[in-house]
Amino acid sequence: MKAAAFGYHAPEGAAEAVSLLAGLGEDAKPIAGGQSLVPMLALRLAMPEHLVDLRRADDLRGVERRNGDLWIGAMTSQAAIEGSAAVARDVPLLARATPLIGHFQIRNRGTLGGSLSHGDAAAEYPAVALALGARFEVLSPRGRRTVAAADFFTGVYETDLAEDEILTGAAFPVRRDRSGFAVEEFARRRGDFAIAGAAVAVELDPGGRVARCGIGLFGLGSTPLRAAADTFDALGARPWAERAHRELRASGETRRSVAFGIDQLTPQELQVARLVAQGLSNREIGERLFLSPRTIGSHLYRIYPKAGVGSRTELATVIVGSDPD
């Protein structure tokens, strides 16, 4: 299948990008390295009317010390992070996690900001950001704001970003003395998304006690924090589990992640799936349900794995097969 037609815009900087996004409205989407978005366009999971390409925005690229942290621009490629001496020295966990992302061809184009904004619960970078307590910089026509990693990932492929906001960069705390880091993952083949993984950052106080321990799990739940809570529950690690649940409640999450099957869809997801089965486009479904085409795309991104399908045609088959009449 080919992507639906879209308008293409290539702003020269971050400010121009957000003003374009605001002007074009909910039918516009930023594109960074395209390693996640282009497959979504090809499968018509996303059908934006306009793409705002961030590639020419040099102010979104770079690795530098800012206010004691290591700031990395959103458009910095994963390959540049992998090759950066500053990242290896100051944020070793990020340096160690990067080679685990896909293959070098993907890392050549894929970006830090794209990976964080995509919010894939199986991706390495969100888990690393959570383990390290990174802070994200967000820009919109209303100005700049900062969001803690723990508040940014709100669900499967869902983040705290509004439609007219872009991620401009992330500030990672620079490693301190007496700290240690590890990232481990299990994948079927080298370069595949991890089936499960963990990123851990530990810092000791002068007395040798643990002063801070950050854990980000990936591939294990709807968000890295959700995954941590579920794992601590399973391990019976009560103090950690309670803390993770407290943080989840504070971030507004109340629903637990679900198993596979059409019966696992929420009523609204089922409604969307039925309209897909009738052959309607994201725009037409959005018009019926008073939702933006982008929201329908996000619903579909959740519906496919829940229903165990990989295309609109397969979804239609499953829906028709499950309908009693």
Ligand X SMILES: Cc1cc2nc3c(=O)[nH]c(=O)nc-3n(C[C@H](O)[C@H](O)[C@H](O)COP(=O)(O)OP(=O)(O)OC[C@H]3O[C@@H](n4cnc5c(N)ncnc54)[C@H](O)[C@@H]3O)c2cc1C
Residues at the contact surface with ligand X, assessed by CB under 6 A:
29-37, 54, 74, 101-102, 106, 109-111, 113-115, 117-118, 120, 123-125, 161, 166-167, 193
Task: State in angstroms the smallest separation of the CB of 129 from ligand X.
Answer: 12
Nearest to ligand X of 32, 215 (CB atom): 32
- In angstroms, rounded to a whole number, what is the distance separating the alpha carbons of residues 32 and 45? 17
- In the DSSP assignment, the letter for residue 256 is P
Burial of 220-234, coded b for 16+ CB within 10 Å and e otherwise, reads bbbbbbbbbbbbbee
Tokens of 315: 């979804």
Nearest to ligand X of 154, 264 (CB atom): 154
Nearest to ligand X of 173, 219 (CB atom): 219
Half-sphere exposure of 12 (CA within 13 A, CB side): 0
Nearest to ligand X of 5, 259 (CB atom): 5
Task: State in angstroms the smallest separation of the CB of 152 from ligand X.
Answer: 11
Task: State in angstroms the smallest separation of the CB of 176 from ligand X.
Answer: 26
Please state the separation of Cα 119 from the chain's center in Å.
1
Q: Which of 46, 3, 9, 31 is nearest to 114 (CA)?
A: 31
Task: State in angstroms the smallest separation of the CB of 262 from ligand X.
Answer: 25
What does residue 81 show for φ and ψ, rounded to 5 degrees? -65, -40
Nearest to ligand X of 11, 262 (CB atom): 11
Task: State in angstroms the smallest separation of the CB of 259 from ligand X.
Answer: 23
Nearest to ligand X of 163, 203 (CB atom): 163
- In angstroms, rounded to a whole number, what is the distance separating the alpha carbons of residues 302 and 321? 20
Counting every residue written for the chain, the total comes to 325
Nearest to ligand X of 183, 309 (CB atom): 183
**Sequence-ordered list of residues with C-beta below 8 angstroms from that of 143, at least 6 positions apart, any chain:** none
**Residue 199, number of CB atoms within 10 A of its CB:** 29
Distance of CA 268 to CAs 144, 174, 299, Å? 33, 43, 9
Task: State in angstroms the smallest separation of the CB of 145 from ligand X.
Answer: 13
Task: State in angstroms the smallest separation of the CB of 157 from ligand X.
Answer: 8
